[in-house]
Amino acid sequence: MKNYKFWLSAAAVTQLLFAVAHSASLFITPAPANDTEGQLFKLLDSYRFDFGAGYHRTMNELIFVFSASLTLLLLLSALTILYLLHQKADPQIMRGILHILLIIFCLFLIVNLIYSFLVPIIMASCILVFLALARITLWQAKPRA
């Protein structure tokens, strides 16, 4: 397991799985468990905030946008990794990409730890661990001649 490509592939696959799982939330509406949740769900769907310039959005519309954005971010990251692996990118390029991904997914994990629940925390942790292992094993990679 000393090959950084293995860990990068593991990170990319985990991101793809997370994206697929998260995209399901875009199309599934949970049922309210009680009257209070029913009122809350009704407000999330019906109350429109005025954002100026003619934009009036419900909270559910805003949640949908953020959920779709997370799915797209995960796809972008995973597909970028897979593309660079397929192109056999130079380890120097991979180091730079890994540094960027490590910073982003470290911040992503911190936000999840504060505001989220167990499943996204586990997924973000796995992605971050795989990226860190890729970076550690990349230190041992020999530069191309």
Q: pLDDT band for position 2 (50/70/90)?
A: low
Look at residue 85 and tell me if it is in a domain: yes
Q: What is the domain extent for residue 44?
A: 4-139
Q: pLDDT band for position 141 (50/70/90)?
A: low
DSSP string of 7-22?
A: HHHHHHHHHHHHHHHH
pLDDT at 73: 96
pLDDT at 74 over 90: yes
Domain count across the chain: 1
Distance CA 92, CA 47 (A): 51
Beta-bridge partners for 50: 56
Q: What is the DSSP letter of 48?
A: E
pLDDT at 26: 86
Percentage of the chain surpassing pLDDT 70? Answer: 95
Distance CA 61, CA 23 (A): 15
Percentage of the chain surpassing pLDDT 90? Answer: 87
Look at residue 56 and tell me if it is in a domain: yes
Q: pLDDT band for position 27 (50/70/90)?
A: confident
Look at residue 20 and tell me if it is in a domain: yes
Look at residue 145 and tell me if it is in a domain: no
Distance CA 103, CA 72 (A): 18
